[in-house]
Structure 1
Amino acid sequence: MGRILALVIILIPGAFAALGIKLLRDTVFGIIIAPFPFLWLQGIAGLVFLGGGLYVVAGFILYRDRKRNKVTTRFKQR
């Protein structure tokens, strides 16, 4: 049960990061998606989704690796 919960915790922010990549790609090619009235607003939303998703996934991986003592001394808790 714990592994399934960890998978869900990783998949949700991963989906947000994928949505951010899609929004940024559509912004570069000039395609406006329905909820955004301006292209620059879509680009900012894409950056926020991508950054937030990567932040959560990277934090989860860092937490897991710290718990298993597989990080370098630079990332260890003090």
Structure 2
Amino acid sequence: MDVNQVFARLIAVLLLVIPGLAATFGFLEMKNAIFAYAASFGEDQGAAGFGWGQFMLGLLLFAAGVGFIGGWIFFRDRKRNYVAPRFKAKRK
């Protein structure tokens, strides 16, 4: 295998791993925001406010990561003609 080909494959793998890690981190941030809110009900000080900033950051990262990977799979399947007829590219 040529060195350039190995480098190109490494870049291709990273293009899928980075959005996957972002989606995972986003999911964990949303989970942590919900858990911290639910866990605060047992404290003596009363319920703390919901961490909207943390939750929205998690939602943004999760949606971007899943959207990128889903779009990549969709366009790859469209190129290989694996999609339903309604998703195929329109011919002129």
TM-score, normalised relative to structure 1: 0.82
One-letter amino acid of the counterpart of residue 78, structure 2: R
Question: How many residues are aligned here?
Answer: 72
Which runs of 5 or more structure 2 residues have no equivalent in the other structure? 38-49
**Are positions 1:44 and 2:50 aligned together?**
no
| From 24, 27, 35, the counterpart of 2:30 | 24
Who is 2:44 aligned against?
none
Which runs of 5 or more structure 1 residues have no equivalent in the other structure? 32-37
Q: How many angstroms does 1:3 deviate by?
A: 3.5
One-letter amino acid of the counterpart of residue 49, structure 1: L
Mapping of residues 47-62 of structure 1, within 5 Å: 47-62=59-74
One-letter amino acid of the counterpart of residue 12, structure 1: I
Q: Distance in 1 between matches of 2:10 and 2:89?
A: 27
Secondary structure in structure 2 of the residue aligned to 1:22: helix
Deviates further, 2-11 or 48-57:
2-11
Two-structure CA RMSD over aligned residues (Å): 1.6
Who is 1:69 aligned against?
81
User: Segments of 4+ in structure 1 off by > 6 A?
Assistant: none
- Deviation string, structure 1 residues 38-60 (Cα, Å, up to 9, x no partner): 71100000100000001100010
Report the structure number with the largest CA radius of gyration: 2
TM-score, normalised relative to structure 2: 0.71
